Structure 1
């Protein structure tokens, strides 16, 4: 009796101390090999800690302490990666008043809600392309397990020129505008561009974003004029390269896009008025288009609502928004490299998968769209051997849908299982 009690206590202590680690066995009816676009039947994914330990044929059982999760009726894929979100905010009729009434702590608390919605939608990794700096604190909180949300790579504050799309003082009274500089993300020379990049690095940003042209939602007249000189862009990209930071450029107008590409930017966000000449340039320089079709759809609809946008914004939204999907269709057919990104925050967080539907509508096969949101984006983030695929040794970011997206792309909008870093968040 004493011996039995001793062994029971010893076993309990081993489990309690984590010496006998629990693995998770996912019984998967269908797995999508996102690299090839093929679907594999009846597999077991074995997850140990935060990694995929193995993928084996059939439905394999583990040890007594292991957890088994039944996904036999599901289609299983890697967690999705969204390369363009704004996790701090969400569009509303009060957006332009909020910056005068909300403190950073208000923004921080609301961002935790948006982060959770994003993860529950199956997006286990995002690239945040500009906010107040709360996005950096949110990334840290998620990494520490204090907040539920996706893995975040963030630009912190986007870099603009004076009066440019990301100048934080646009639309203010003259006596409130001041003269923001590199610290605030506003530059007007190559040297100031270098300083702004180093400031973002100092603050903890992972990537660099510039606003190469005017934008839709800024309180400024033009939504498409070029706003950087090539030497300014090159100073920014060269400095970012020194610090190991991926670069992105918001761009609607064609001239601004060309300058961004020639200046060394890696991803063009939106690309609305892209010419065929620019498409060829993107192919030549291996520059990726992040189309954000969903944002275009959303601003088009919101522009129709009286009072939703200031008049100067509503005009730009109704002109630019409807053109993104058609541009994407043309760029895809031309062979422009495509990455997946949505501009979530311009529309409601958690609805990121709408982008898959619009990409498929525009002629991209669903397997290619999913490849863009997994393999391609992992490569761009420098995480090709860790994220974006279901393979042995990769981080266990795993999602599942009730139906096969080949048969119904809409199923991607309602994932039924989410695992991030080996932990189940939705089942």
Structure 2
């Protein structure tokens, strides 16, 4: 029997992992500049956390979660998104008692049972940030700015932000009534999931992917027409800060995101790509009631989640030159058993000095070892025979220039340090 990777998942092979490391390193550096600290939470949580936090009318909770009972008959769920787990950790460890705002970031796999397609997988990976403790619209703009700076640092072109306000629960309640009034005459024409949400959360209909439902939703009332002075003022302030930061954005009053915990600002990062599914590389928003919903004090929050899988897909489509360093500093070629034995100690010395080194482990002849050094793109080859070993010398060859010279074995670290610039 042959085994294959489960549908909707994929292996990340060594050459690809180098790209992932580079993307993650860029994210870590941007977070360092903005004073965000890394947090790591479990890959599964109690199911109720996601039902209460994400929302029981979302696609995620209704049909996409990987839920199971453990041996203690507790219902657990592989995390479908990152925010709920970070909020749970923030509350459980009373991080709200420390200095505010609290700024956190995370990496990790998420799990949703979706129809696999380009840029959409059942196991996908996110980079996310969360900020707790500030009601200032400037922090909304800062979160968006961090995401934009990260995406631009990777070399992605044509990235813009779509923004909207989903207001407050009170505003949404009045807006819900108007949406129900609008959609009810079209009820039988709506997709089944939209029909099910009509009286529970009609805003979710605006996010439908069904063609006929989208066509009907295009004529629905805009939430922007229902904002009170406070919500409208908050949204204007966010836009003012984005203008000040010179961040390109488009107001999209149909943007509701796929999670129920958002209040006020909602946004998505959109890249210039050919595939509609892959064009959105992530998004987020403000969630002022989520900390309290999960058992903490009244505490505002704002954050985003970006799909690393989608970002790498975008980098490849735009043919971005990714500076992956994989060059070997030195390949040790040996002639004879004594030289081979000594090379083990020599490699240890070179690696401890910080060099990337390798030697032959397949008993190849000198020609085969040289081919291996060339194949692995070694900068230098250190050729050690038994005669050189007895004399305490070693031959060093630069593969780029072909130049070769003999040096003392004791001088090899200094030699490579002078030749190879950090």
Larger radius of gyration: 2
Whose relative contact order is higher, 1 or 2, with alpha carbons under 8 Å and at least 6 apart? 1
- Relative to its length, the structure with more helix (as a share) is 2
- TM-score interval (norm. to shorter): under 0.3
TM-score, normalised to structure 1's length? 0.20
